Structure 1
């Protein structure tokens, strides 16, 4: 039970002060004039002012409340390093028992696990959530058991009591870490790009040689080993071998007694892109669609186009002196012998042998294909004649034989069953509204894949692989009708774009491919194929375990499977002769980037509350009571601030100046002053 005098004024305190000043002035005037009742007048004024202040005697029935100590235990992945988990758990159990045995003390024990995804240890957020559930006036202390590697230490948090860090780990802990300091998201195929790596030792590292081994593997291939300096940034030139995603893995061997090997690997996924696509377009006899290919290729800013049109063959005799011709000489030797390998694609548009290109040059084009080049033949009526390109050395790589027949009937181009599964022709837009073509060169395929057909289901578009290169034969020169909107037109631009990019080996248009895309620790596996079925995918996890995944058919030639990776790292996929690699998350999760315990990250928050940071390795500290605002930690001890909080169960208030008493006292003093001053007169 406690009693106090409280005031509940009828007027604001400012008005009471004004009335008191007026009363004081009246009393002073009475004293100045020598009135004998000035003291009685002052007493009456005091009674009235006291009545306006309305004093009362308040009695409270209070029950003391216990102090609350928050005990936060870090259970994140880095606490699973050797010795830390047992050290932390034993210390937390002992502290909880010690605090519970203290009088008037309650313990709120919380755990701080890994945050979702790769968020790391969010200790300050966990403390914020715990404090939100407790009365701030009862919190006497906060004790965190952690290795100090906290990833939200800079979070602004007003702590109502001292914060203490009891750091797990050992004085001789050390770890070797491999990090990627700088790496671009993409690079140009065939050109070196510089990556910056760093291998460094943290903690109480033993004296070792200043060099370490570094293994580099691209797309899961056999690794190459190099010796690099430790503790220095390493500029490493890397050349991407192909377009699309390139997975590069860097690894340094595990050292004796280091904390973990989880941060000895760095994983980079870079997209390989072409700088500029170099295309050679050779047009033969002029025709209505002669600018079709030129307009298509010139519309793409990433294409460097070299275009020649054969307007005046050697056998043309028009009587014009050669010196007066405004045409430039056709640099056949330079293009077809010296610089042919500089081109990514060569297109022959209605070209026929007219003595411009000797057999040696066309033989060189055939070799260019075999060595990885690409040739597209847009055939016209000349392809069915004796001057056809098929009758040249280039015919050895052409996938269809002309029958010498040219069909002049109208027909609707259509995608074959095989073409429904081929990336070049699958899902072409506006399938039911295409316009007709008016000419087709009859050919008989001898290799490759027929993806489109025309009159009487005869081959219209044939695609083939020749050793390392690719060849496409379009058995018509009527594609321009679609671009002119004839009978509604058709997807001419999309078809020719896909065709050109397939020939230049763009990864997204490969007909036989195994790819995977990652979202967090989930992956979607996509298998594209021309077959009607595929075997299951063999997935090899970072720890070497294998899993067989059944693929589901979602579209012609497309099979998918979804997989949730149990751990972060590099996964290998194998399906028949197709292989792929994919990285889930960073190779070194956030919890394992810095593994050596440290108080530095939490030190500002600890200092702001006058708490302390101690090592669990040195034993549990003593717990003392300290006054608020005083240092709350010292050598071998930590302090709690008793809050002396209470709960008010009942409140009773009694007026010190009831109305009748105020009336009697004020009347008494006023009448007494009047009588005393009247008797004098």
Structure 2
């Protein structure tokens, strides 16, 4: 119980001050007149003023509140390295025992796990949230049980209400080797080297070495081995082998004395893209569909188009001198002998043999396809004639043979059973309308007999082949047995998906991975992966997933649309996963290439030191043994050799308040009257 004197004036404060000033003047006047009882008059004035001020004694009954000690326990991934978990558990047990020994003190433990995604250790965020939930006046001490590696120093509280101490895990002889990738781009141009900056560095008490082995693997293939300098930046040029996602894995061997091997490898995913798609379009003669091809190819900014239309064939003789013609001579030798390898795709649009391209040039085109090129033939009526391209060296690679018959009647282009599963044409029924009958009709089809090796994706009159694909050597060939696709572009009878069809067709011929008939890939979303298997078969086998630690999981896929099989799987951890169904393989990296938790693995108090020093706390190591926690007065050093201090807050809760007058009012009046009479008597005697 405590007591204090309080005043509750019977008049306003200003009036009480005025009365006091008047009393002081009267006492001063008495002194000036040299009255013998001036001091008795002064005491009487004080008694009257005290009576008006109404002094009271306030008594409080207080219940003492316990002091709170906060302990933020770091349980992030870096704290699970080596025996740090056991060290932290022992340090927490020691702290609990010390706090239990202190009177009226309780411990609040705040566990801290891994941040979402790759956020690292959010130590200050956890501390700020813990302080916000506790009364600041009761906090007597703060202990951080951690390795000292945090990633949110900027979120520290503005001030700490009690001494802050850092208790660090780890040992003096710890060391670790880390592989770092810098300047890692998200995409790269095919055929052009991508320069990466790679560095292998040692941290802590590492053994001396000048070079270390490094292995590099692309898409899980056989790794290549190199010896690289240690603790130096190294420029590494990489040329992407294919379009789409390329997964590059870099690794250096893990030594037994290292803290962890999690940062000895890095995974980089680079999307391979073509700089420009170089297309050569050769139109045999002007016709309405010519502009469809040109508009389609020119609308894509990534396409470099070279277009020639043969307006004046060699056999045409009209008497006009050649030097007066406003035409460009067809550069056959330059295009088909010298620069043919510079083109990614050659399109023959209603072209027929007229002697412009000699047989040796056409044979060179065949060789161009055989070594990886691509040719698309949009056939017109001339394809069925004696001047057909089929009756040239190109006939060997074309997927269909003409029968010399041309149909001139309306028909609806439809997808074949294979076309509904093939990536070039799947889903086209709904690309422009609700179903296939919403497409417009075509009015010409060249009858061709599909070769056994070809793939028939679309059919026309009486289910005759309309669109055929084939592989020839390392290249690809497509044959469209009609020149009427331009009707869809003009919107005739509601048109059709000509833009999407021709775009997919061109990309399939460019060997884009997304349009391969047989493909296995993964679409990641955090740690959730969608496994997709595309196949022309009715069924596919199970997919075996190999985890980063070498364990395996077998997944069954379900057909979600014709030719597309999928499943969704939640991966247990981040890292590099390999998938295979026995025929196709795929590699996917989940999470960051180098997790933030393993960028710096050596325990250190450097980042926490400024916060600790500001509260006169201390930084100690768990390796030193059990903690000694003492109580110190506020403002004194809170850490010393072998001990850490907390400041008792002295917080309390007021249970009851009692107010009683210091003296009764009549007693003040009686005292004042006695003093006045005493002054009168003293002065009367004199």
Q: Same fold (TM over 0.5)?
A: yes
Instruction: Return the match for 1:479 from 470, 474, 485.
Output: 485
Change (3 A) 1:379 1:670: farther
Q: Say yes or no: does 1:388 pair with 2:394.
A: no
Q: Secondary structure at the match of 1:99?
A: helix
- The match for 2:317 is 317
Alignment of 1:541-580 (within 5 A): 541-580=547-586
Change (3 A) 1:395 1:29: farther
Instruction: Return the match for 1:465 from 455, 460, 471.
Output: 471
- The match for 1:611 is 617
Q: Secondary structure at the match of 2:155?
A: coil
Q: Secondary structure at the match of 2:154?
A: coil
Q: Distance in 2 between matches of 1:25 and 1:661?
A: 25
Query: Once the 2 structures are TM-superposed, how far is the Cα of residue 672 of structure 1 from its aligned partner?
Result: 6.5
Query: Once the 2 structures are TM-superposed, how far is the Cα of residue 445 of structure 1 from its aligned partner?
Result: 0.8
- Deviation larger for 39-48 or 385-394: 39-48
Cα deviations by residue, 1:39-69 (Å, 9 ceiling, x for unpaired): 7876676556545654321111223333222
Q: Distance in 2 between matches of 1:114 and 1:41?
A: 79
Preserved CA contact (<8 Å) 2:128 2:156: no
Query: Once the 2 structures are TM-superposed, how far is the Cα of residue 194 of structure 1 from its aligned partner?
Result: 0.6
- The match for 1:245 is 245
Q: Distance in 1 between matches of 2:443 and 2:167?
A: 85
Preserved CA contact (<8 Å) 2:98 2:628: no
Change (3 A) 1:62 1:314: same
Alignment of 1:91-490 (within 5 A): 91-157=91-157, 158-208=159-209, 210-428=210-428, 429-431=431-433, 432=435, 433-446=438-451, 447-490=453-496
Q: Secondary structure at the match of 2:348?
A: strand
Q: Secondary structure at the match of 2:60?
A: strand
Preserved CA contact (<8 Å) 2:7 2:55: yes
- The match for 2:601 is 595
Q: Secondary structure at the match of 2:294?
A: helix
- Deviation larger for 49-58 or 632-641: 49-58
Query: Once the 2 structures are TM-superposed, how far is the Cα of residue 577 of structure 1 from its aligned partner?
Result: 2.2
Q: Distance in 2 between matches of 1:437 and 1:585?
A: 50
Q: Distance in 2 between matches of 1:370 and 1:516?
A: 31
Q: What's the TM-score, normalizing by structure 2?
A: 0.93
Preserved CA contact (<8 Å) 1:41 1:669: no
Cα deviations by residue, 1:595-644 (Å, 9 ceiling, x for unpaired): 11111121121111111111222223433222212221122221121222
Query: Once the 2 structures are TM-superposed, how far is the Cα of residue 337 of structure 1 from its aligned partner?
Result: 1.3
Preserved CA contact (<8 Å) 1:570 1:587: no
Q: Distance in 2 between matches of 1:670 and 1:113?
A: 77
Q: Distance in 1 between matches of 2:681 and 2:382?
A: 143
Query: Once the 2 structures are TM-superposed, how far is the Cα of residue 325 of structure 1 from its aligned partner?
Result: 1.9
Query: Once the 2 structures are TM-superposed, how far is the Cα of residue 381 of structure 1 from its aligned partner?
Result: 0.5
Preserved CA contact (<8 Å) 2:94 2:627: no
Q: What's the TM-score, normalizing by structure 1?
A: 0.93
Query: Once the 2 structures are TM-superposed, how far is the Cα of residue 102 of structure 1 from its aligned partner?
Result: 2.5
- Deviation larger for 105-114 or 304-313: 105-114
Q: Distance in 1 between matches of 2:35 and 2:454?
A: 131
Query: Once the 2 structures are TM-superposed, how far is the Cα of residue 26 of structure 1 from its aligned partner?
Result: 6.4
Q: Distance in 2 between matches of 1:378 and 1:543?
A: 52
Q: Say yes or no: does 1:516 pair with 2:522.
A: yes
Q: Distance in 2 between matches of 1:12 and 1:554?
A: 87
Alignment of 1:3-152 (within 5 A): 3-8=3-8, 20-21=20-21, 24=24, 46=46, 50=50, 53-152=53-152
Change (3 A) 1:677 1:440: farther
Preserved CA contact (<8 Å) 1:63 1:648: yes
Q: Distance in 1 between matches of 2:248 and 2:666?
A: 95
Cα deviations by residue, 1:337-380 (Å, 9 ceiling, x for unpaired): 11111111100000000000111111111111121111111111
Instruction: Return the match for 1:653 from 652, 659, 676.
Output: 659
Q: Distance in 1 between matches of 2:204 and 2:233?
A: 19
Q: Distance in 2 between matches of 1:477 and 1:15?
A: 110
Q: Distance in 2 between matches of 1:545 and 1:338?
A: 53
Instruction: Return the match for 1:495 from 489, 493, 501.
Output: 501
Q: Distance in 2 between matches of 1:95 and 1:627?
A: 20
Q: Secondary structure at the match of 1:154?
A: helix
Q: Distance in 2 between matches of 1:284 and 1:678?
A: 142
- Deviation larger for 622-631 or 332-341: 622-631
Preserved CA contact (<8 Å) 1:568 1:589: no
- The match for 1:629 is 635
CA RMSD of aligned residues (A): 2.7
Q: Distance in 2 between matches of 1:416 and 1:23?
A: 117
Change (3 A) 1:672 1:541: same
- In structure 2, stretches of 5+ residues that fail to align are none
Change (3 A) 1:301 1:10: farther
Q: Distance in 2 between matches of 1:336 and 1:493?
A: 28
Cα deviations by residue, 1:99-142 (Å, 9 ceiling, x for unpaired): 21223322223332223333332222332333333332222212
Q: Distance in 2 between matches of 1:340 and 1:13?
A: 105
Query: Once the 2 structures are TM-superposed, how far is the Cα of residue 28 of structure 1 from its aligned partner?
Result: 5.0
Q: Secondary structure at the match of 2:522?
A: strand
Preserved CA contact (<8 Å) 1:40 1:669: no
- Deviation larger for 301-310 or 152-161: 152-161
Q: Distance in 2 between matches of 1:90 and 1:325?
A: 95
Q: Distance in 2 between matches of 1:380 and 1:21?
A: 120
Query: Once the 2 structures are TM-superposed, how far is the Cα of residue 443 of structure 1 from its aligned partner?
Result: 1.2
